[in-house]
Structure formats: C-alpha cells, structure tokens
Amino acid sequence: MDIAGKSFVVSGGASGLGEATVRLLAQSGGRVIVADMNAEQGNRVAGEIGANAKFVQTDVTNEDQVQAAIDAAVASFGGLHGAISCAGVGMAMRIVSKMGPHPLDVFKTVIDINLVGTFNVMRFAANVMAQNAPNDGGERGVLINTASVAAYDGQIGQIAYAASKAAIVGMTLPAARDLAKLGIRCVTIAPGLFDTPLMAMLPEEAKKSLGDAVPFPSRLGQPLEFAQLVKQIVELPMLNGETIRLDGALRMAPK
C-alpha cells in the first residue's frame, strides 16, 4: 500500500515509538490521527506536523473514545487505511513479594490497556477499513500492533506485561485470517530495548549498560527504527499474520 494520500490512526502517537511513527507516516505523505491521552504532547506533535495530522484525546480502553478517533480520520481525511497501536504500560511486580500476592487490579490494568486497548483499535479500525474500495492488489487496509520481546523472554516482575504482549502476538495470525477476505492485513512488531521516554528516566550509565546487552548493534533501538519497520509493513503486502522481533538479536535474561 502506498502511504501517500492514505490516512492512519496511531494510538500512543504523542511520544516514543508512536510519535516517531506519526512523523514518518506524515513525512511519507500520509495523514495521521494522533490518538493519545496526553493532550499537551499530542497537540504539540500534531501542530508541528501541520495539516496532515490531528490530535484526538483517546483512552484506548474507552470504546467511545477509540471510535471517535477512528471517526476523526474519516471526517478529517476522508477515510482510514491503517491503524498502528503503540499505546501501552508496564508495571513491574512479582507474583508473590514481601507485600503478598500480586494485586489483581494491577494485573487487570495492564491487560486492559495493552491487550484490550489494542483489540479496541483493531476492531473499530477494521470495521471502517472494510468499507474501502480495494487497491489493485485487493488490499483495503493494514493493522500494525506493538508487542515486546517480553512476549517470549518475560523477565522477573513482568508477569502482567509479558502476558499482555504474548496475547497480542497470539492475536496476530487469527486476526490476519479473520480479515483476509476483506483485504485487511495484521502484523505485529515485538521491539527489544528502545530509547523511549521511559528509558530517558534512567541514568546514562544504566542506559548504556542496557544497550551493551544487545548483541548487535550494541545500543538501544531508536524510535525512528521502529517507525521505519512500520513503513515497510504498510508498503509490503506480503507481510501478513506475522510478528517481527526488532531487537538486535537480544534475548532477555531472567532479570
């Protein structure tokens, strides 16, 4: 699918991997809804891009707000051709600690935002993209989700996060099969250690240590590299039903 002239929704688009994705899609001629909870950052990103971007405050766990973000793409840009889910959270906690058993509400919160939020974007976006006229290859749209290497190499304290990301991986193939007759693809990216705002909170020494653990290149991934893979997925129609690790050959240790 050509990006130029097409419309996209990016959840979590106000920072980190999502912001890089928004900017690259816009630079490639796409029009983008920046769907995020953070109004200040979301308006900043959309404002810096200009007419090809619009911010819509969106809690991905809220059905009405997700639908509103999808509707905004149709109203502002005339349609929707892709949805990229980058919104997510992580809360480190062991199943059993000195404080007792893992609180169920914490587990549910991570699952709700990471997994249910991703599914909300998928289902509402696919429902609209199914109405598109197919291109010459029969394609109507593409869904790109964000998992994590924790889906495979979950560390100590990542029980909720790893479960949510493994479920996103698990949705990828059945989603692609469900939507195949509609000409809608579904692909997931599983990033390793990336230099996102969460990492920015760490001391430089800690960031360097994490980067050194990556076999090659021995550094943290850059958000633009994630965005470049999103661009390739959009443009390459044979990529479907697959999860792609983007991690420099990293395999996470237990802790």
Does residue 55 contact residue 78 with C-beta atoms inside 8 Å? no
User: Would the pLDDT of 197 be above 90?
Assistant: no
Task: Give bridge partners of residue 55 from the DSSP assignment.
Answer: 34
User: Would the pLDDT of 201 be above 90?
Assistant: no
Other C-beta atoms lying within 10 Å of the C-beta of residue 30: 24
Catalytic residue among 77, 107, 119, 161: 161
The predicted structure's pLDDT at residue 255: 85
User: Would the pLDDT of 207 be above 90?
Assistant: no
Confidence of residue 10 (pLDDT cuts 50, 70, 90): very high
CA distance 58 to 225: 25
Confidence of residue 85 (pLDDT cuts 50, 70, 90): very high
Query: For residues 92 and 39, which has the higher predicted lDDT (pLDDT)?
Result: 39
What is the tens place of the pLDDT at every residue in 55-77? Answer: 999 999 999 999 999 999 999 99
Confidence of residue 198 (pLDDT cuts 50, 70, 90): confident
What is the tens place of the pLDDT at every residue in 111-148? Answer: 999 999 999 999 999 999 999 999 999 999 999 999 99
Confidence of residue 172 (pLDDT cuts 50, 70, 90): very high
In a domain, 253, yes or no: no
The predicted structure's pLDDT at residue 206: 74
Q: What is the mean pLDDT of residues 150-176?
A: 96
In a domain, 55, yes or no: yes
The predicted structure's pLDDT at residue 199: 76
CA distance 21 to 227: 4
Annotated active-site residue 161? The verdict is yes
In a domain, 63, yes or no: yes
* Domain enclosing residue 182, as ranges: 7-246
Q: What is the mean pLDDT of residues 103-118?
A: 97
In a domain, 74, yes or no: yes
Q: What is the mean pLDDT of residues 47-52?
A: 98
User: Would the pLDDT of 203 be above 90?
Assistant: no
User: Would the pLDDT of 226 be above 80?
Assistant: yes
Crossing angle of the two packed helices 223-235 and 16-27, in degrees rounded to 10: 50
Looking at the chain, the whole-number percentage of residues with pLDDT higher than 90 is 91
User: Would the pLDDT of 202 be above 70?
Assistant: no
The predicted structure's pLDDT at residue 27: 98
User: How many structural domains is the chain composed of?
Assistant: 1
Does residue 64 contact residue 124 with C-beta atoms inside 8 Å? no
How many angstroms separate the Cα of 202 from the Cα of each of 16, 40, 111, 242? Answer: 15, 23, 25, 32
Q: What is the mean pLDDT of residues 216-237?
A: 97
CA distance 244 to 232: 12
User: Could you tell me the pTM of the whole model?
Assistant: 0.96
In a domain, 113, yes or no: yes
Check which CATH number belongs to the domain holding 179 and give it: 3.40.50.720
In a domain, 110, yes or no: yes
In a domain, 114, yes or no: yes
Does residue 11 contact residue 121 with C-beta atoms inside 8 Å? yes
Q: What is the 3-state secondary structure (H, E, C) of 186-204?
A: EEEEEECCECCHHHHCCCH
In a domain, 201, yes or no: yes
